Amino acid sequence: MTSEAKKDAPLGRVIVITSGKGGVGKTTSSAAISAGLAKQGFKTVVIDFDVGLRNLDMIMGCERRVVFDFINVIQGDAKLKQALIKDKRLETLFILPTSQTRDKDALTKEGVEQILNELKAEFDYIVCDSPAGIERGAQMAMYYADEAVVVTNPEVSSVRDSDRVLGLLSSQTKRAETDGAEPIKAQVLLTRYDQARVDSGEMMTVEDVLEILAVPLLGVIPESKAILKASNVGTPVVLDEPSAASRAYEDAISRLTGTQVEMRIQGERRPGLFQRLFGRAT
């Protein structure tokens, strides 16, 4: 649908996937979002900013193809082209893995900026997978962002950390520091959402979360076995067989590209059961 747009100058949008709290689904979402954007025909690269705790390459299923990494490029030991890994499933998708042996001090503002500028000249979307926390790695991942996807679980500590990160996005980034620049467009992606637990009062509702965070909702990803399964085999969930989670990600990705998609919150259970019955019958 965007094959014509592809021939134009690249969009060069930098999107940071961040959260503050760990374990909420940043890397899974980075993999899904970058793969989903690439699937729509956008030339996309996903960068792992979690120096020292490299994971994205495994979720993307390219861990055995890493030769040079992000840090090698920053330090001038390798060219960007040498470090970019082309995805085997989608020709518009690239991965820039990080180093497992260095630490976050290896990230410099200048180095990151230079690489992002090079990537902007060639890619439509540059997806930055932020590490947890609000220290250097996370700061570097968000600093040059144009947009932010704040991954949040429907529970209080995750929401509070997301709120903190939203504060940093509006104060400690290039766009925030540049006079007259449009602020970073931040949206919240609610993950691991379990309708049954919301109904029983164990989890916060979408409305509760949005009331606190006061930013637009990008999507609601249901808690799903499909995600764990996809991660284990190194496939972004949107490239795996269809599931409630992959559909929710597809919707979120469409919204990210500016398409209006009606918000539907799907539980795994009902469609899953229906599909199973349907699957058996055929």
User: Which spans of this chain sit near other proteins (rule: CB under 8 A)?
Assistant: 160-161, 163-164, 166-168, 170-171, 211-212, 214
Q: Minimal distance in Å, beta carbon 182 to other proteins?
A: 14
Cβ nearer to other proteins, comparing 6 with 160? 160
Q: Could you tell me the sign of the dihedral formed by the alpha carbons of 169, 175, 177, 179, in that order?
A: negative
- Tell the smallest beta-carbon distance from residue 169 to other proteins (Å): 9
Q: Which is nearer to other proteins, 56 or 168 (CB)?
A: 168
Minimum gap (Å) between residue 214 Cβ and other proteins:
5
Tokens of 196: 């049954």
In terms of CB distance, is 22 or 167 closer to other proteins?
167
- Which is it for strands 217-222 and 185-193: parallel, antiparallel or unpaired? parallel
92 and 266 Cβ atoms separated by less than 8 Å: no
Q: Are 215 and 166 in contact (CB under 8 A)?
A: yes
| AA identity, residue 25 | G
Q: Which of 120, 125, 170, 179 is nearest to 150 (CA)?
A: 170
Do the bridges between strand 93-96 and strand 125-129 make them parallel or antiparallel, or are there none, so unpaired? unpaired
Q: How far is the CB of 118 from other proteins (least distance, A)?
A: 33
Which one, 206 or 212, has the nearer CB to other proteins? Answer: 212
In this complex, which beta carbon is closest to other proteins, that of residue 43 or of residue 175? Answer: 175
- Tell the smallest beta-carbon distance from residue 20 to other proteins (Å): 9
The answer to whether 236 and 230 are in contact (CB under 8 A) is yes
